[in-house]
Homo-oligomer: A and B are copies of this chain.
Amino acid sequence: MNPTIRDVAQAAGVGLATVSRVLNDSGYVRPETRERVLQACSDLGFVPSQLARSMVRRSTATIGLIVPDITNPFFPAITRGVEDAASEVGYTVFLCNTDNDPAMEALDVRKLRERRVDGIIFVGTTDRHELVTGLLAGEVPVVVTDRQLDDLDVDSVLVNNSLGAQAAVRHLIDLGHRRIAHAAGHPATRTGQDRLAGYQQALQEASIPYDPSLVVFGEYTLESGYAAAQILLGRAPRPTAVFAGNDLMAIGMLRAATEAGIAVPDELSVVGFDDIQMAALIHPALTTVRQPAYDMGRRAMTMLHERITGGIPAAGRRHIFQPELIVRRTTRRRD
């Protein structure tokens, strides 16, 4: 059994309150007494119970991080950013995977509330407004990342998806492409909608008519990118370029193109979104739109911390990162 503060007090020949004071560096303690207490602590191998502390302090120095799937290469970087920023302010993080399953999300939120986390960061989860509003109503600080909840007054860390998509498509247009397909993300996600909107916007600016038959929806997975490519590359005349909803889909499309004997970038240009580590490593290296995932994680955590420690106006704040086009080897001028 773990020794308690009482054991320490007895061993050091002092009262409970005194031990607590040296542990927390609060109030007056004679240096000599402090020394005796510290000695007793290490003699007994005393490890204070954060549980007991949390009960009375009504805060746990703990946050919940809800991601769809840590195995998806976009999320580890965000997670790491959150973790690092959390560590710096003494917080520990609970990790939850939901697979975008609303039931799972609700379960995780419940678990986190029972554990009395000081706050929750949602990253790229389904848009279940009720969940978040419930949290907000219960006065649980929340930050949402990689997902825009428009009608909700919640702190968010976002990337300008529309702008990123525009940059990607403009790049293709600048290279002389006119027949540009889009393998979009899930239509129910704001992220997917915004990128699609950016795609349309860029086309419009270049006076290229929007052709719905060149847009197919997927689920941000490699497989759905592969499937989307099979449809899109079958269109006649075949598109000369394609903008994918994310890197994983782009890589799936690359694969489909290779199998179909379509050379990239010679016969087909491809642009992704995210700039996951893999993007630079595949062959040919993927042209993509970079999201600063690590920094987004960090920012989400610092925003959450500010919200937790108060002093922040009640209104939901938004931090919007600007995406950046990274030109590599999957795009090429059309001759």
**Chain A contacts to B: CB under 8 angstroms:** 2, 45, 47-52, 54-55, 60, 62, 65, 69-71, 73, 75-77, 79-80, 83-84, 92-97, 110-116, 138, 222, 251, 255, 277-278, 281-284
Contacts and interface: CB of A to CB of B under 8 A. Distances in A.
Nearest to A55: B51
A63 B45 CA distance: 21
Given A65-B95, A83-B96, A92-B112, 8 more contacts: A48-B114, A62-B115, A71-B77, A84-B97, A92-B96, A277-B278, A278-B281, A283-B283
Number of copies: 2
Contacts of A69: 80
B92 A94 contact: yes
A77 B70 CA distance: 8
Residue among A54, A69, A71, A84 with most chain B CB within 10 A: A71
B51 A116 contact: yes
A116 B71 contact: no
A251 B281 contact: yes
A47 B113 contact: yes
Given A55-B51, A281-B278, A94 B97 contact: no
B92 A111 contact: yes
Nearest to A64: B92
A58 to B, nearest CB: 9
A187 B45 CA distance: 34
A151 to B, nearest CB: 23
Contacts of A73: 73, 76, 277
25 contacts: A2-B138, A47-B113, A49-B55, A49-B116, A50-B114, A51-B51, A65-B95, A70-B70, A70-B80, A73-B76, A73-B277, A76-B76, A79-B95, A83-B97, A92-B96, A92-B111, A93-B94, A94-B94, A94-B95, A277-B278, A278-B282, A282-B282, A282-B283, A283-B283, A283-B284
